[in-house]
Amino acid sequence: MKRGNQIFEEFQKNMQELISKSPAADIEKNVKAFMSQGFSKLDLVTREEFDIQVAMVDKLRERIEAMETQIKALEEKNQ
């Protein structure tokens, strides 16, 4: 007697074979191509690029705050 996992795996394999031989596979390919073409027209960045930019902005913000503190200290000293 087959276990539940084996039955599920066989069912999944059979469904994948059925889909790959049907027009659904072509539809999936066409939808992916359409979406890729649409996304390529947009000005998008990857998550990694976005995270790098956020890190850079955070560092710059820290430097600006440190400089503002130094300027304020110098202004108070000169008054």
- Per-residue model confidence as pLDDT tens digits over 54-71: 999 999 999 999 999 999
Number of neighbours of residue 28 by Cβ within 10 angstroms: 12
* Cβ partners under 8 Å of residue 3, min gap 6: none
Whole-number Cα distances in Å, 14 to 3, 26, 27, 40, 64: 17, 18, 19, 34, 61
Predicted pLDDT at 2: 55
Pick out the chain residues at pLDDT < 70: 1-4, 24-25
Number of neighbours of residue 61 by Cβ within 10 angstroms: 10
pTM, two decimal places: 0.48
38 SS3 class: helix
